[in-house]
Amino acid sequence: MTAILTGRCQCGAVTYRAKAEAKGYACHCLDCQKQSSSAFGISLSMDTTNLTVEGELGSYTKTADSGAQTDCYFCPSCGSRIYHEGKSRPGKVTIKAGTLDDTSALQLTGHLWVSRKQPWLHLGEELPVWLTQPTAPDEWEMLWSGGREE
């Protein structure tokens, strides 16, 4: 169900409102581990037009092992990553779920890059997993829209 989600950076200088479902995927790639300072990052995908940001953002472009480029937007005061915009996905952004004001309704739809997950982390069997990441558009769409099809 689409809802209005709100969030902010750690210091509160950047806030946002997003019209999206509280469904996100966990990514275990090394970039997400570094960015989140944890075992994985969680991202929520949505149309760019459904995100409104207030406050100054900094940005930089990172290049993945695959060669794909992503613009990463963050608060220049506290460094909190707010969202990403992949150059290969015009019109789409992924919010970093840890910045949501309320994460209690968040539902995971799958796990990416499990080939790089921490060995002490045990995943359940209820969600789809990818050793790297989906390659087919229908797999990405399933991941963004809620996970395993019944």
CATH number for the domain that contains residue 49? 2.170.150.70
Q: 110 in a domain, yes or no?
A: yes
Phi, psi angles (nearest 5°) of residue 128: -70, 150
Instruction: Establish if 9 belongs to a structural domain.
Output: yes
Domain count, the chain: 1
7 falls within a domain: yes
- Rounded to whole angstroms, the Cα distance separating 38 from 145 reads 25
Is residue 74 in a domain? Answer: yes
- Written as tens digits, the pLDDT of the chain (150 aa) is 788 999 999 999 999 999 988 899 999 998 889 989 999 999 999 999 999 999 999 999 998 767 889 999 999 999 999 999 988 888 999 999 999 999 998 999 999 999 999 999 999 888 999 999 888 878 877 777 665 443
The model's pTM: 0.86
Give a yes or no: residue 150 inside a domain: no
Cβ neighbours, 10 Å, residue 78: 13
Residue 71 lies in a domain: yes
DSSP assignment of the chain equals --EEEEEE-SSSS-EEEEEE-SEEEEE-SHHHHHHHTSS-EEEEEEEGGGEEEES--EEEEEE-TTS-EEEEEE-TTT--EEEEEETTSTTEEEEEGGGBS--TT-EEEEEE-GGGS-TT----SSS-B-SS---SHHHHHHHHHTS---
Q: Which domain holds residue 135?
A: 3-145
